[in-house]
């Protein structure tokens, strides 16, 4: 929900998905597991507030089960990490593209890495908002 007097929805809407040929580039050190796409694809919409045009990307990643807070190496946590990195990679590629609709991208949602690790891709940093 947003104030339509201050924010205007633009014509671009869609979802993030990777072509099978590009999915192989979604990988992280220490994770051997293959990225098979998203459990719930992130959706996006272009918005404009004043002179600022931006993409808002909704992120609701795979939840899964954590083996323990001290051992986040379970298959589920690896899958969640790959999904998170996939969103960051997509945002970073769009930001660098000369054909980008806009370079202003906000990835917003839930299910960032629950093991309270902070890591980044380009200018995008994913931080568990529930971390103490």
* Residue 69: predicted pLDDT: 58
Q: What's the pTM?
A: 0.75
Which burial class, exposed, middle or buried, applies to 10 when counting CB atoms under 10 A from its CB (0-12, 13-18, 19+)?
middle
* Residue 61: predicted pLDDT: 77
Q: Is the pLDDT of residue 120 over 60?
A: no
* Residue 71: predicted pLDDT: 61
Q: How many helices (H) and strands (E) does the chain have?
A: 2, 6
- Over the stretch 25-74, which tens digit does the pLDDT of each residue have? 999 888 888 998 888 889 999 999 999 999 988 888 777 666 665 665 57
Name the residue with tokens 């980044």: 120
What's the whole-number average pLDDT of the chain?
78
> Helix, strand, coil shares of the chain as percentages rounded to 5?
20, 30, 50
* Residue 37: predicted pLDDT: 87
Going from N- to C-terminal start, the domains of the chain cover 7-126
Assess contact for 49 and 6: CB atoms under 8 A.
yes
Q: Is the pLDDT of residue 5 over 80?
A: yes
């Amino acid at each position: 929900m947003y104030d339509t007097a201050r924010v205007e929805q633009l014509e671009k809407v869609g979802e993030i998905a990777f072509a099978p040929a590009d999915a192989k580039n979604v990988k992280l050190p220490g994770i051997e597991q293959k990225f098979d796409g998203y459990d719930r694809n992130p959706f996006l919409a272009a918005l404009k507030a004043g002179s600022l045009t931006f993409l808002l990307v909704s992120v609701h990643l795979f939840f899964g089960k954590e083996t323990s807070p001290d051992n986040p190496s379970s298959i589920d946590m690896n899958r969640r990490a790959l999904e998170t990195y996939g969103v960051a990679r997509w945002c970073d590629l769009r930001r660098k593209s000369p054909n980008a609709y806009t370079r202003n991208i906000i990835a917003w949602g839930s299910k960032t890495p629950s093991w309270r690790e902070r890591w980044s891709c380009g200018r995008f940093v994913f931080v568990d908002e529930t971390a103490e």
